[in-house]
Amino acid sequence: MDVDTAIKHYVIMVKDVFSHPKGRPGDGKFKATKLEAAIKSIVREVTGSSESLLLERNDSTSCRT
């Protein structure tokens, strides 16, 4: 992902995740499910699947930042 794309996604994600603190914080003040959904959506958009593996094959040159 290039820097501009990363910033674009970051802004959307932060808004999604931090705008609504949990009403009754238990294990963490913010909703992990929202964070998870936001991350998966980014991974899906960039790699084509939200379930892509972290380990790159040797022939891959893409940046996973």
Partner 1 sequence: MNIPMLFRSYESREVQPRCKIWEAARATSAAPTFFKRIEIGRAQPFVDGGIGRNNPSWVVLDEASTLFGARPIGCLVSIGTGQVEAVGIKRPGFFHQIAPTDVVDALRAIATDCEDTHERMQRLFTQLPRTYFRLNVDQGMQRMKPSEWEILSRVEAHTAQYLRRNEIDEKMALLGRIITVPKAGLRIEQLGTKGPKF
CB of 48 to partner 1, least distance (A): 11
SS3 state of residue 28: strand
Q: For residue 26, which phi and psi values (nearest 5 degrees)?
A: -110, -90
User: What are the residues binding partner 1 (CB under 8 A)?
Assistant: 7, 11, 14-15, 18-19, 21, 25-32, 35-36, 39-40, 43, 47, 50-56, 58, 64
CB of 4 to partner 1, least distance (A): 12
Q: Counting beta carbons within 10 angstroms of the beta carbon of residue 13, is it exposed (0 to 12), middle (13 to 18) or buried (19 or more)?
A: middle
Q: Report which secondary-structure segment, H or E, holds 10.
A: helix 3-18
CB of 20 to partner 1, least distance (A): 9
